[in-house]
Chains A and B, each alone.
Chain A
């Protein structure tokens, strides 16, 4: 089976940088994904890492280290609209397994 660990909550200040970590245990690994979910909304895809290293998409970056079974999501120039839950996820055969989510609180 697979399991993912991520912090339940993180707090940061508007304009700052925040990193959300995710460690995983898998029986087979295809890649690590990140999703954002605002309150009352549906999850939206942010990024996917299949290989080691950093992937950058605008203010968001995602990193993967397969040897450490570890990845993180980096959010820069935080805006109030970034207040949401962030989920890491891995694929196992025909399903995606999600972490329990990290609630990001942003202070003005």
Chain B
């Protein structure tokens, strides 16, 4: 597609439950990035992929967060045992190549942990 698609738009989970978010990058884009934005503040980088390979995962809290980008499937970000502080908007962005800083963002998934 011509836009980055993210589902669901909103997600509510009880503390300790699992949350799974999906992202379909723009067709033809090789790079996918995940960010967490808390309370309209700065974007925290989580992880990036080059096609199905992890490109940079230095921002991932690995004990509870995992992500995948498999061929012919939307990319996913999964949070095991959610915590209150995971409440945020999670943005996915795609980019056609690594040499450009132009990122195309999806509309985001708002995760609320109760």
Chain A interface (Cβ within 8 Å of chain B)? 30-31, 33, 35, 37, 39, 41-45, 48, 85, 87, 89-91, 93-101
B66 to nearest A CB, angstroms?
17
B: number of interface residues (CB 8 Å): 26
> Which among B35, B48, B101 is the interface contact of A94 at CB below 8 angstroms?
B48
| In the complex, chain B residues whose CB is within 8 Å of the CB of A96 | 33, 45, 101, 103
Q: Which 5 A-B pairs have the closest CB atoms?
A: A94-B56, A94-B55, A42-B105, A33-B101, A98-B43
Q: Which B residues form the contact surface with A (CB < 8 A)?
A: 33, 35, 40-43, 45, 48, 50, 55-56, 58-59, 91, 93, 98-108
- Is B102 a contact of A95 with CB atoms below 8 Å? no
Main secondary structure of the interface of A (DSSP, over half): strand
Q: With the chains together, A86 CA to B91 CA distance in Å?
A: 16
Q: How far is the CB of A95 from chain B (nearest CB, A)?
A: 4
B59 contact set on A, CB distance < 8 A: 95
A-B contact pairs, 20 of them (CB 8 A): A33-B101, A33-B102, A42-B105, A42-B107, A42-B108, A43-B91, A43-B103, A85-B40, A89-B101, A91-B101, A94-B48, A94-B56, A94-B98, A95-B45, A95-B58, A96-B33, A96-B45, A96-B103, A97-B45, A101-B41
